[in-house]
Structure 1
Amino acid sequence: MFVPDVLRSGGLGVARWPRHARRLVLSALVGVVAGLGAVFFDAMLVHALTWLVEVPMAWARHGIAFQPVAPGMHAPVVSWIIIPIAGLGGLASGLLVFCIAPEAEGHGTDAMIESFHLRGGYVRKRAPIIKFVASALTIGSGGSAGKEGPIAQIGSGFGSILASWLKLDTADRRVLLLAGAAGGIGAIFQAPLGAALFVPGVLYRDTEYEFEALLSCIIASIAAYAVFSQVFGRQALFTPGPVHFAMPVELLPCLIFGVLCAGCGYIYIKVFYGLRDYFFNPLPIPRMFKPAVGGLLLGCVAWRFPEIIDGGYVWIQTALDGKMLWQTMAALVFLKIVATSFTIASGGSGGVFGPSVFIGAMLGGAFGELGHALFPNLVVNPGSFVLIGMGGFFSGVAKVPIASVIMASEMCSSYTLLVPLLLVSTITFLLLPRKVTLYEKQMDNRLASPAHIGEFARGILSRMTVGEAIRQRPVSVIAENMPFHALVKAVTNSTESYFPVVDKSGKMTGILSVNDLREVLFDDSLRDLVVAKDVATAQVARVRLGDSLETALDIMARLQIDELPVVPDDRSDEIEAMLSKQDIIDHYHDCCLI
């Protein structure tokens, strides 16, 4: 990976540029590289599918005349060979991932989310490369997985590595991480705006965005889309033909369809993680071999139903063209759920966006065709529900109600169905419980993210008082005239770390810690002369009951101490309690969990 030396700190000193200028330039650079990555990844997948699946199965991608006679399409006679092909692909992917970069396991979007929240945006250099190859092996051998996970990890990996190489701070690294993911997804799905909204939004289960990264994601997505379009041309991923929506007649079917999407999404997620937790994880074999088991199981399904191979985009287009029976599409909904779970839940490498789009499209197609057959006056345009399902279903399972609508519209190059898409997406998002999501690493909101806990904590702590956080426990006070030998005994027998020193009237005159004793402890000549007042710190930092916890933490940070004496608001020398950092943390969490 090449970056001009002049960009590096010490050349043009990128780290010293104004933040907006720095992010503008680097986001564009990351977008270009993400676009190139999308080009190579897409080309690699085409060749892998051709030589690993289509040629052995004598099955040309566009050469099938689809004439279904039953709920499923019977595969060609030689298609049994998909079973060993998928198994070997899973084996190769598993060995590569678990021996070199275990973080490349599963769907890469979760890895990107985890890196943002928990790792400061850091990605190991080897991870994007391993993800690139492992995903090509998994999907190229027939795995039921999508492109968004791999390309998200590839693009975000470059953004993270570039930020680390240029010695940028954590905030910039997180932004470039997201910019790279947005660029890759926007390019490979030809949905630049949708991707720019998807990446900052998929970090959270609530309808929140990483606003600081939004402009960088847009810039990177535009740059990546421009590169990708230059190679493959500007064309929609799907061509839905004329789609219509009868207002307000079809609002009721859309309401019902939104409920159906939520129910199917719930089943999808429970099956996906249920197979992982209760089947693949307990298998008494090394983890590196479990993707091979998943591949073999997938191959058994694909033997009879080859529609579930890859992302299934050919079959989505077939559904949009109105050339599939509703029984076929209904069957493929559940077959795709099982096939995707076999592929990715076993540890295979790939994304879940593509399969989710497929499931939503088939669900919408089945609903539209059946609804039109039963209630032609209500479901007037059955084909429109294929496109509505693509965006509506994913909005709930991924918790991205706005981005999914834009992405579905961009992939079909049509905003005609924007209103029903918004309606179905909103219903699906609201009905699915917050914790039921395809992306386990999502945080509930920005407050829950370790990436923002500092800024939010300060705001909350400024409204909390010291009096609310102190714990009722005895304070170990030391009389100022206590002899040194008695002082040593009192301190060593106590579990406390800080000891207020008081005079005969109980007023605080100082404070001491174990460290204060060390200067005198080994000087025998002073032991009989020193009393507690002599070793205590006279200038005592203290907080009042009415002070904010933010103030208390600032004092602790400045003095590098862990506890402070607490005094009443109107008397600064009367010890009330001791406040520790742990007291503040406990009170903060108690309040946030209510």
Structure 2
Amino acid sequence: MDPTKLDGNEGDSAPPENAEEVVKPLDLYRMSMLAFCLGIVTGFGAVLFRMLIGTIHNAAFLGRLSPLYDASQFTPPSPWGAWVILVPVVGGLAVTWLVNSFAPEAKGHGVPEVMDAIYFGGGVIRPVVAVVKSLASAIAIGTGAAVGREGPIIQIGSALGSTLGQWLRIPASQRIILVASGAGAGIASTFNTPIGGVLFATELMMPEISVGTFLPVALATGTATFVGRLFLGGAAAFLVPPQLGALDNHLASGFTLLLYALLGVAAGVAAALLIRALHWAEDAFDRVPGRYARHTLGMLFVGVMMYLLMRYAGHYYVEGVGYATIQATLNAQLQGGLFLLLLALCKMAATSVSLGSGSSGGVFSPSLFIGATLGAAMASLFHLLVPAAPVSVPAFAMVGMGAVVAGGTGAAMTAVAMIFEMTRDYDIVLPMILAVAFSIGTRRLLSRETIYTAKLVRRGHVIPNALHANMFLVQSAAAIMEADILVLRADVPFRDLLDRMGIAPFRHIVVTKAGMLYGVLRINTGLRRAVSHDNPTVTIGQLAHRNFIVVKRSDAAFEVISELQRRRAVMAVVVADSAVDGAFDVFGVIAKEHIADAVARSIDIFPRRDRGWIAPSTQSVRVNDASHTAHGKAFKVSDSEAEN
């Protein structure tokens, strides 16, 4: 007897619920070629995006048309004088029109929308998002909004990957891979950080990691970085002094590492404050009637701050991506701990107001700005308290950059790798790891969510905070099956079964007929009550479900689950691996609740994500006596339903 022929589904398998399930996936080689092409397109997109930012910036602030723009150099005083206050306002009006007219999802810093599309949208991003996000973010950054360029290029690259996947009609799982590949390629090309781009996609974008997912991401990221270097050069994003974070190999260096740990704590506080400030700003501006009015008000605030900083401190400082301030901090050109701390607070306020009022741009660059100024300020404080302490202001600024980024985004490996690639100084890695760990730990105490997931949680979309191996999938069918079953003939009266279950409370019945598997039956209170008051001669064969499958004890769980899904079966009957005298022994059944139990056991070894409150089953919870509403329909829980 062949167990593959024992199920009762032959000839009547249900059609798939949606067409995507029957789309044949591409092999790894074709996926890799698509990722390679996506990296080329995203690399060119990043170059054009930066040129567009430079053109708009030069026209808006200096009154000349030129794409040449070095964000690491301070913008000279504008010929418009005090009227420069209105430059962000005009840019904000253009951004509002673009976003509201063509792509509302282009508003904000972009990464949450990409994560939302991956986890809740099957990797579908509208093609128009790539165009609108490019224009809106270039206008916002070019006219002085205190946002970064990495969030837009991540969303642009992801939209390109999604569009390619939709055009080729590949399965959702592979479309998501292209979305993550586009995101990694975008951030790698804009920062010249290929390792950081791969890690960014791995930590934040990819639901699972395997050769089939990692290889396309790596190819897209490396290709995009190469294209970016062809046009933008291969120099590091920031120039730093030599031996930036070198520590001598003696015990006294432990004191310096302790100071780096304190910097990590401060960075975690700053990251949590930035997360809260962004949402405070969004809530505050949502109370202002009219999209144009609220964005005008926000950009007017940013314009006034820029002008006051230029007049009293010599530079616009908080406008745009802020790389000039970061570079000046690394060069130790900015002095005074209080002034540096003021710049960090000003940038935090300007970024929160920019995004909260409706601008389009990223939060990665502002986090670098806040981290650099905070780190330099902390170094100045340590010099003041312990003059003999071996503290380097540029080193603390660089470590502060990585610590705030890691604390805000939760991407620890990405932050360490990207700061290393930006500086090309390996000595910075050790203090960076320490500060990043303390930063993430401190931020988690103050804010459970990252700067990306907090926005999604407000929508009711919960993103997992870790990648767990599906350990239950490698278990055998014997490990997850329910063994307490009854095997009965189809002609057994149901009433006789109830009498037998009074002695041994079996819940699952395997039904046979003429020595062959015939069906499966799950006994519950509702079925007992319904049948016991009906025809007493009804048999279990009349009640049995015929849509079941047959699996062997050694079959892997993922094969069982796949077959259950494919055949739309209610249960799997587990039989012996080999026949005895032509017959297979039945050992158990696998239903959906058994799979759920296996999943719960497999993740129990990992730290659990505390979110919300769930009442223990043994605790009484008072509820309203009135009927509740779900999906627009009133319902009451009956005693029988509660018992089941």
The two structures have a TM-score, normalised by structure 1, of 0.74
Matched, 1:37 2:58: no
1:431-510 equivalences under 5 Å are 431-433=442-444, 435-440=448-453, 441=456, 442-447=463-468, 458-459=473-474, 465=480, 467=482
Q: Distance in 2 between matches of 1:121 and 1:469?
A: 42
Aligned length: 519
Q: Is the 8 A contact 1:200 1:211 kept in 2?
A: no
Letter in 2 for 1:360: G
Change over 3 Å in CA distance of 1:468–1:432 after alignment to 2: farther
Q: What displacement does 1:145 show?
A: 0.6
Q: Is the 8 A contact 1:120 1:170 kept in 2?
A: yes
Q: Distance in 2 between matches of 1:557 and 1:60?
A: 55
Paired position in structure 2 for 1:279: 284
Encode CA deviations 1:43-94: one digit per residue, 9 max, x unaligned. Answer: 11111111123449xx99888699xxxxxxxx88955434432223222212
Paired position in structure 1 for 2:13: none
Letter in 2 for 1:42: R
Letter in 1 for 2:296: A
1:114-513 equivalences under 5 Å are 114-203=116-205, 212-242=212-242, 243-247=244-248, 248=253, 249-276=255-282, 278-281=283-286, 283=287, 285-287=289-291, 290-305=294-309, 306-325=316-335, 326-433=337-444, 435-440=448-453, 441=456, 442-447=463-468, 458-459=473-474, 465=480, 467=482
Letter in 2 for 1:37: G
Q: What displacement does 1:427 show?
A: 1.9
1:539-550 equivalences under 5 Å are none
Q: Is the 8 A contact 1:86 1:298 kept in 2?
A: yes
Q: Distance in 2 between matches of 1:33 and 1:194?
A: 19
Encode CA deviations 1:465-492: one digit per residue, 9 max, x unaligned. Answer: 455999xxxxxxx99789xxxxxxxxxx
Q: Distance in 2 between matches of 1:241 and 1:17?
A: 48
Encode CA deviations 1:84-106: one digit per residue, 9 max, x unaligned. Answer: 32223222212211332122121
Match of 2:205, SS state, is: coil
Q: What displacement does 1:235 show?
A: 1.7
Q: Is the 8 A contact 1:160 1:174 kept in 2?
A: yes
Q: Is the 8 A contact 1:461 1:588 kept in 2?
A: no
Match of 1:416, SS state, is: helix
Q: Distance in 1 between matches of 2:89 and 2:304?
A: 10
Letter in 2 for 1:298: V
Q: Is the 8 A contact 2:476 2:556 kept in 1?
A: yes
Change over 3 Å in CA distance of 1:122–1:469 after alignment to 2: farther
Deviates more, 1:38-47 or 1:287-296: 287-296
The percent of aligned pairs where both chains have the same amino acid is 26
Q: What displacement does 1:333 show?
A: 1.0
Q: What displacement does 1:579 show?
A: 8.8
Q: What displacement does 1:38 show?
A: 0.8
Letter in 2 for 1:143: A
Q: Distance in 1 between matches of 2:391 and 2:293?
A: 49
Paired position in structure 1 for 2:56: 48
Q: Distance in 2 between matches of 1:60 and 1:204?
A: 33
Q: Distance in 2 between matches of 1:29 and 1:510?
A: 51
Q: What displacement does 1:158 show?
A: 1.4
Letter in 2 for 1:50: N
Q: Distance in 1 between matches of 2:545 and 2:125?
A: 49
Change over 3 Å in CA distance of 1:304–1:479 after alignment to 2: farther
Query: What is the root-mean-square deviation in Å for CA atoms of aligned residues?
Result: 4.5
Q: What displacement does 1:540 show?
A: 8.7
Q: Distance in 2 between matches of 1:410 and 1:444?
A: 25
Change over 3 Å in CA distance of 1:352–1:16 after alignment to 2: closer
Change over 3 Å in CA distance of 1:178–1:533 after alignment to 2: closer
Encode CA deviations 1:522-556: one digit per residue, 9 max, x unaligned. Answer: xxxxxxxx987896669795999x99995985675
Q: Is the 8 A contact 2:106 2:129 kept in 1?
A: yes
Letter in 2 for 1:231: F
Q: What displacement does 1:142 show?
A: 0.8
Q: Distance in 1 between matches of 2:601 and 2:299?
A: 46
Q: What displacement does 1:400 show?
A: 1.5
Letter in 2 for 1:245: A
Q: What displacement does 1:394 show?
A: 0.8
Q: Distance in 2 between matches of 1:428 and 1:258?
A: 4
Match of 1:202, SS state, is: helix
Encode CA deviations 1:122-171: one digit per residue, 9 max, x unaligned. Answer: 22111111111111121122101101111111112212222222333333
Match of 1:307, SS state, is: coil
Change over 3 Å in CA distance of 1:386–1:158 after alignment to 2: same
Q: Is the 8 A contact 2:403 2:439 kept in 1?
A: yes
Q: Distance in 2 between matches of 1:402 and 1:60?
A: 28
The two structures have a TM-score, normalised by structure 2, of 0.69
Match of 1:322, SS state, is: coil
Q: Distance in 2 between matches of 1:111 and 1:157?
A: 10
Deviates more, 1:381-390 or 1:47-56: 47-56
Letter in 1 for 2:218: I
Q: Distance in 2 between matches of 1:16 and 1:294?
A: 47
Q: Is the 8 A contact 1:253 1:378 kept in 2?
A: no
Change over 3 Å in CA distance of 1:28–1:64 after alignment to 2: closer
Q: What displacement does 1:431 show?
A: 2.9
Q: Distance in 1 between matches of 2:439 and 2:599?
A: 34
Q: Distance in 2 between matches of 1:463 and 1:103?
A: 47
Q: Distance in 2 between matches of 1:228 and 1:549?
A: 45
Letter in 2 for 1:221: T
